[in-house]
Amino acid sequence: MKQRSDLTKARRLVIKIGSSLLTDSGRGLNLPAVAGWVEQMAGFRREGIDVLLVSSGSVAEGMCRLGWRIRPQALHQLQAAASVGQMGLVQAYESHFQRHGLHTAQVLLTHEDLSERKRYLNARSTLRTLLELGVVPVINENDTVATEEIRFGDNDTLASLVANLVEADLLVVLTDQAGLFEKDPRLDPTAALVTRMNINDPRLAGMAGESRSGFGRGGMQTKIRAAKLAARSGTPTVIASGAESDVLTRIHKGDDVGTLLVPDVAPLVARKRWLAGQLQVKGRLIIDNGAVRVLTDSGKSLLPVGVTAVEGRFQRGELVACVDAEGREIARGLTNYSAEEANRIKRRPSSMIESVLGYIDEPELIHRDNLVLV
Residues 140 and 27 in one domain: yes
Average pLDDT of span 186-215: 76
pLDDT category at 49 given cuts 50, 70, 90 is very high
pLDDT tops 60 at residue 284? yes
Within a domain: 147: yes
Confidence check: pLDDT of 362 > 60: yes
pLDDT of residue 214 exceeding 60, the answer is no
Q: Are residues 293 and 259 in the same domain?
A: no
Q: What rounded mean pLDDT belongs to the chain? A: 87
Q: What angle do CA 329, 331, 334 make, to 5 degrees?
A: 125
Rounded Cα gap, residues 38 and 44, in angstroms: 10
End-to-end CA distance of the chain: 41
Confidence of residue 285 (pLDDT cuts 50, 70, 90): very high
121 assigned to some structural domain: yes
- Return the minimum-mean-pLDDT range out of 79-93, 205-219, 313-327, 333-347: 205-219
**What would you report as the CA-atom Rg of the chain, rounded to the nearest whole angstrom?**
22
Residue 304 lies in a domain: yes
The pLDDT of residue 66 is above 50: yes
The domain containing residue 255 runs over which residues? 5-267
Looking at residue 269, its pLDDT comes to 65
Asked if the model's pLDDT at residue 291 lies above 80, the reply is yes
The predicted structure's pLDDT at residue 72: 84
> DSSP readout, 303-325?
PGGGEEEEEE---TT-EEEEE-T
Backbone φ and ψ of 196, nearest 5°: -155, 135
CB contact at 8 A, 109 and 123 = yes
Do 253 and 108 belong together in one domain? yes
290 & 262 share domain = no
C-alpha count within 13 angstroms, C-beta hemisphere, residue 237? 36
Asked if the model's pLDDT at residue 331 lies above 80, the reply is yes
CATH number of the domain encompassing residue 362 = 2.30.130.10
The reply to whether 272 falls in a domain is: no
> pLDDT, tens digit, for every residue of 118-131?
777 788 889 999 99
Same domain, 91 and 223: yes
Kindly state whether residues 32 and 156 are assigned to the same domain.
yes
Do 240 and 340 lie in one domain? The reply is no
Number of structural domains in the chain: 2
For residue 25, the domain's CATH number is 3.40.1160.10
> Would residue 274 count as lying in a domain?
no
Asked if residue 63 and residue 190 are part of one domain, the reply reads yes
pLDDT by residue (tens digit) across 128-175?
999 999 999 999 887 666 655 444 357 898 899 899 889 899 999 999
Provide the 10 A C-beta neighbour count for residue 33: 17
Query: Confidence class of residue 205 from pLDDT cuts 50, 70 and 90?
Result: confident
Q: Say whether both 75 and 136 belong to one domain.
A: yes
Q: Do 60 and 184 reside in the same domain of the chain? A: yes
Query: What is the average pLDDT across 309-314?
Result: 96
| Residues 263, 289 within the same domain | no
Burial of 108 (0-12, 13-18, 19+ CB in 10 A): middle
